Amino acid sequence: MAIHPIEFRYGTPEMKNIWESENKLQRMLDVESALAQAEGELGIIPQEVADEIASKANTNYVKLERVNEIEAQTKHDIGALVKGLGEVCENDAGEYVHFGATSNDVVDSSNSLLIRDSIEVLKEKIIRLTKLLLKLAEENKAKVAIGRTHGQHALPTTYGMKFGIWADELHRQYDRLLHAEKNVCVAMMDGAVGTTAALGEDGWKIHKKVAEILGLPAATITNQVVQRDNHVEFIMVLANIASTLDKIGLEIRSLQRTEIMEVGEYFDPEKQMGSSTMPHKMNPITAERICGVARIIKSYVNAALDNNPLWHERDLTNSSCERIMFPESCILTDYILNLTIKLMSNLVFYDENIERNLNLTNGLIMAERLMAELTRKGMGKQTAYGIVRKNAIKANKEKLLLSDLILQDEEVSKFLTEADVEEIMDPHTYIGSSQIIIDELIEKSKEWFNE
């Protein structure tokens, strides 16, 4: 019976398949196979034995049910894996399975393979979302909207700027993921305290050969584990990605509020329900789910940090945590990336509301421009600031047009004509270099994903 929402509600098939039990078993068998092959090449075990172990190190022979049955008796997962593999090997080859290794050689190296596969899925999703945001930025670089600071109307901006900022941030997250991949996806075969003592004088060669066979860099130095600062970096990057998606979801939720309603999620009126009791509701459920799941991903950062300081050469406190943290953080990050792609692919614009909100404050948002133009015409900046501020406060309090009050101000009339004020008060012409910024961003982005 399904219990965890990941089993039936959250996650994509491609990421779940990486972390499902049989694939995890296969990745551990891949490590055992690489160890046997390396030992065979260096003459540590007979080549025919290495070949037999390698040929049987897959789930066509080693069944998950059998490994679980053995573990129920031995209370040791890698011990059960070794016995399960040994059972299916012929001609006593099973006697040589796992020779010279310790359990965590298999655990950490197989986790590196799983994380590497997960990162490939995440990279593809990040690229898709980034390109989608870039497309939206280019399409909406001239769509003028009110910018808000502290939740208050500030100055005109464009929707192109919003989307461009998110695209640029996601590209940085992509770069961080590449850096984390380099550090966390490494192989090890170093034995109980990292010295490779059980493998004799060829131990360090075995360590490097196993990594080569697995297609991973060899860890530079370990004790009994790949040092967990590497895994901290990876989990922190996932949390950082989640924070970006949280930011996007939060902004869409805010902009979809009834009083604002500038953009919103697509809602299927024929099939979708917003509330079990309020027939009129059309809620931003996708964006809300992104924000909610992001909290879980971000919460793993503290757990990852606590996994780094272990007793002496190693204890087991990181293990149980990571059995949960690695699959969940990867599955959930991939899931909300998928949701954000869906959200942004079906975004609905309410242009009449964008224009309404732009003019909601009766011209107050153009106060900065008035001050700047008065200064350019020769009025002192501080004097201009004081005059515009005085009129803006009155306009706000009495619900008057700022332009009307400005035109009545004798000091202002010495510097600005009625035509000047009319031009100044048009918010559509006060977007600075925003279109140039987006054009340069689009041009620069052509080089982003050339790994």
CA–CA distances in Å: residue 131 to residues 168, 333, 444: 10, 18, 12
Residue 375, class by beta-carbon neighbours within 10 Å (0-12 exposed, 13-18 middle, 19+ buried)? middle
DSSP 411: H
112: annotated active-site residue: no
Q: Kind and range of the H or E element at 263?
A: strand 263-264
Which residues touch 391 (CB under 8 Å, ≥6 apart)?
A: 402, 405, 406, 409
275: annotated active-site residue: yes
8 A C-beta contact, residue 234 and residue 115: yes
**3-state SS assignment for residue 366:** helix
Active-site choice (275, 299, 345, 413): 275
Burial profile 401-433: b = 16 or more Cβ within 10 angstroms, e = fewer: ebbebbbeeeebeebbeeebbeebbebeebbee
Active-site choice (150, 276, 280, 433): 150
Q: What is the DSSP string of 127-192?
A: HHHHHHHHHHHHHTTT-EEEEEETTEEEEEEEHHHHHHHHHHHHHHHHHHHHHHHHHH--B----T
Q: In 185-228, which ranges are continuous DSSP H helix?
A: 203-214
8 A C-beta contact, residue 371 and residue 385: yes
Q: What are phi and psi of 392, to 5 degrees?
A: -65, -40
Beta bridge partners of 187: 218
Residue 320, class by beta-carbon neighbours within 10 Å (0-12 exposed, 13-18 middle, 19+ buried)? exposed
CA quadruple 213, 218, 219, 224: dihedral sign: positive
Residues marked as catalytic: 150, 275
